[in-house]
Amino acid sequence: MRIYLNGKLVDKDKAVISVFDHGLLYGDGVFEGIRSYDSLIFKLEEHIDRLYRSAEAIELNIPMTKADMTKAVIETLKSNGLKDAYIRLVVTRGVGDLGLDPRKCKVPTVFIITDKISLYPKEFYRDGLAIITAKTKRNLTAALNPKIKSLNYLNNILAKIDAIKAGTEEAIMLTYDDYVAECTGDNIFMIFAGTLITPPTDVGALEGITRDAVIGLAKDAGISFEEKMIKIEDLYNADEVFLTGTAAEIIPVTMIDKRRISGGRPGEITRRLMEEFKSITKTSGVKYEL
Ligand code: PXG
């Protein structure tokens, strides 16, 4: 496996970074998770734009242009011969000293890993997922805004541990005042009386690329859509609930906190959106030749 590291493609064993890198010492950095489907990189431009927005939000200057970053992603995919891939882009503050002063880090570290994608079990899509409400609350937007896809993912990891302890794969994260924000690695949607509803990202959620794509699909299909603050009880009473994310795509949720949602079966609108989503992953994206 070849890894892009600071301008070079190097062998996996040679892809090492310093223990003084602030990405490691402080989680000071940003990342992206992208997918390619049969040599088409899904929403590449949107992911690159979000990476640069995240970097800007932490005042990290990425030392290459978006065009060069795009080229680097494609080169890495090609050198690994991957048609269907998971792409992880990481930019850290770089090597500094043991203090947290980012001014000591002169050169950001950039690396790109492309690997085979490990898919969720088919049953999740067929039967739906059981999830819980995390005990861990969402970070305050004024403290560390969850819109920033930073390397500091401990808030999400603590909620993921809540999920694992409850025997589930995902957990809903609530804001300090108990509004639904999102899950640990996925955005959340519900259908109520035919309307598709998701919380505004301003409550403390990532501006998911899959989220945006699904909103677009719903609009095209004439499904009414609303961004609205919701509480956990609204999800319990929803007709359908699903999660969206690059790895998950669209996953139906059929149980929340041991309560059955949509009769314990994936709902009709969810299934329709899942099909529409599959079709756009096959027909849109940035093409590359191996
Ligand atoms: N919320 C959070 C907190 C995320 O980390 C999403 C929502 C969905 O965003 P996108 O843009 O992917 O629709 C994410 C993204 C993984 C993995 O390996 C997780 C994500 C993306 C790719 C891989 O668990 N989360």
Q: Which residue among 149, 231, 282, 287 is the active-site one?
A: 149
Cα(247) to ligand 1 centroid in Å equals 7
Best probe residue, ligand 1, of 169, 246, 273 (max atoms within 8 Å of C-beta): 246
Instruction: Evaluate: CB of 145 within 6 angstroms of ligand 1.
Output: no
What's the pLDDT tens digit per position in 224-279? 999 999 999 999 999 999 999 999 999 999 999 999 999 999 999 999 999 999 99
Question: What element of type H or E holds 68?
Answer: helix 66-79
Best probe residue, ligand 1, of 182, 206, 280 (max atoms within 8 Å of C-beta): 206
Cα(122) to ligand 1 centroid in Å equals 19
DSSP assignment of 209-254 equals HHHHHHHHHHHHTT--EEE----HHHHHT-SEEEEEETTTEEEEEE
Quote the CA–CA distance of 62 and 59 in Å, as a whole number: 9
Instruction: Evaluate: CB of 246 within 6 angstroms of ligand 1.
Output: yes
For 69, residues 6+ apart whose C-beta sits below 8 A from its C-beta are 48, 51, 62, 89, 110
Instruction: Evaluate: CB of 209 within 6 angstroms of ligand 1.
Output: yes
**What residue ranges define each of the domains in the chain, with the CATH number in brackets?**
2-115 (3.30.470.10), 122-280 (3.20.10.10)
pLDDT of residue 119: 86
pLDDT of residue 118: 84
Instruction: Evaluate: CB of 150 within 6 angstroms of ligand 1.
Output: no
C-beta pairs of 199-204 under 8 Å, 24+ apart in sequence = 199/227, 199/228, 199/229, 199/230, 200/227, 200/228, 200/229, 201/147, 202/141, 203/138, 203/141, 203/175, 203/179, 203/229, 204/138, 204/139, 204/140, 204/141, 204/145, 204/146, 204/173, 204/175
Best probe residue, ligand 1, of 118, 120, 187 (max atoms within 8 Å of C-beta): 187
Protein residue whose Cα sits closest to atom 25 of ligand 1: 185
pLDDT of residue 252: 98
What's the pLDDT tens digit per position in 13-25? 999 999 999 999 9
Q: Tell me whether residue 149 is one of the annotated catalytic residues.
A: yes
pLDDT of residue 78: 97
Buried-exposed string 210-244: b where 16+ CB fall within 10 A, e elsewhere: bbebbbebbeeeebeeeeeebebebbeebbbbbbb
Instruction: Evaluate: CB of 254 within 6 angstroms of ligand 1.
Output: no
Unique residue bearing structure tokens 């794509």: 213
pLDDT tens for the chain, 290 residues: list them. Answer: 999 999 999 999 999 999 999 999 999 999 999 999 999 999 999 999 999 999 999 999 999 999 999 999 999 999 999 999 999 999 999 999 999 999 999 999 999 999 999 889 999 999 999 999 999 999 999 999 999 999 999 999 999 999 999 999 999 999 999 999 999 999 999 999 999 999 999 999 999 999 999 999 999 999 999 999 999 999 999 999 999 999 999 999 999 999 999 999 999 999 999 999 999 999 999 999 99
